[in-house]
Chains A and B, each alone.
Chain A
Amino acid sequence: AQSVTQLGSHVSVSEGALVLLRCNYSSSVPPYLFWYVQYPNQGLQLLLKYTTGATLVKGINGFEAEFKKSETSFHLTKPSAHMSDAAEYFCAVSDPFGANNLFFGTGTRLTVIP
């Protein structure tokens, strides 16, 4: 079975500061991992995903995440926050050998302070 834990339902950072959103997963098989972003009154869009290969994954809008198997983590980072990054972020996991549905975390709302 797969599950995801996102630490911190709310994170606030100053504009220009480092963004770090935490995600830990549980999976009985090597997982595929995803980060999605949701802007107000919109659906979710993919930021980045890890399937196989390089463990540092780069996504859109300057975000990146690193798959660390030993820590069962897939934390999302961005070196310098921008006001437009304010949104809700969801980490998700899927079983590469099973069904195609994703299991989502409970989300982290990012606030960027000017």
Chain B
Amino acid sequence: DVKVTQSSRYLVKRTGEKVFLECVQDMDHENMFWYRQDPGLGLRLIYFSYDVKMKEKGDIPEGYSVSREKKERFSLILESTSTNQTSMYLCASSFRGRGGGELFFGEGSRLTVL
């Protein structure tokens, strides 16, 4: 089975602190994604990556950065957290293809910023 593992399930941080969320997949997928999930808003794409060291902005990249140094690992970085970044963060991966690729999701990281 495909496994996407997110490093932290629950985090509580204070405003201004740095947060590093790590995601690892074990299926040699080319694509990796970070989404943010909020009630009533669904999933919104923050960043995605098609290859090592490659990244593309999604719909809401402000306040976030990413790193992909190895194919299996995609990290989301919040340099200085704010309360409006309290949310559920979901990592996903897929094979590169003509849009028909199924996304495989991790279990999510719930971040609370006080």
| A binding-site residues for B, Cβ under 8 Å | 9, 32, 34, 36, 41-46, 49, 51, 90, 94-102, 104-107
Contacts of B102 in A (CB 8 A): 34, 46, 49
A51–B97 Cα gap in the complex (Å)?
A: 12
B61 at the interface (CB under 8 A from A): no
Contacts of A95 in B (CB 8 A): 99
Q: Which residue of B lies closest to A105 (CB)?
A: B42
Q: A32-B100, A41-B107 are known contacts. Are A100 and B42 too (CB-CB below 8 A)?
A: no
Number of B residues, CB within 8 Å of A: 29
A49–B101 Cα gap in the complex (Å)?
A: 10
Q: A9-B40, A105-B42 are known contacts. Are A100 and B101 too (CB-CB below 8 A)?
A: yes
Q: Which residue of A lies closest to B101 (CB)?
A: A100
| B binding-site residues for A, Cβ under 8 Å | 4, 31, 33, 35, 40-45, 48, 50, 56, 58, 90, 92, 94, 96-103, 105-108
Q: A42-B107, A45-B105 are known contacts. Are A100 and B96 too (CB-CB below 8 A)?
A: yes
A99–B96 Cα gap in the complex (Å)?
A: 9
- Most B-side CB within 10 Å, residue of A46, A51, A95, A101: A101
A90 lies within 8 A of B43 (CB): yes
B108 lies within 8 A of A106 (CB): no
Q: Which residue of B lies closest to A95 (CB)?
A: B99
Q: Tell me, rounded to whole Å, the shortest Cβ–Cβ distance linking B81 to chain A.
A: 22
A92–B38 Cα gap in the complex (Å)?
A: 16
A102 lies within 8 A of B40 (CB): no
B4 lies within 8 A of A106 (CB): no
Q: Indicate which residue in A36, A41, A94, A105 contacts B99 across the interface (CB closer than 8 Å).
A: A94
Q: A46-B102, A106-B40 are known contacts. Are A101 and B96 too (CB-CB below 8 A)?
A: no
Q: Which residue of A lies closest to B106 (CB)?
A: A43
Q: Which residue of A lies closest to B31 (CB)?
A: A100
Q: Which residue of B lies closest to A109 (CB)?
A: B39
Q: Which residue of B lies closest to A9 (CB)?
A: B40
B43 lies within 8 A of A43 (CB): no
Q: A42-B107, A45-B105 are known contacts. Are A98 and B43 too (CB-CB below 8 A)?
A: no
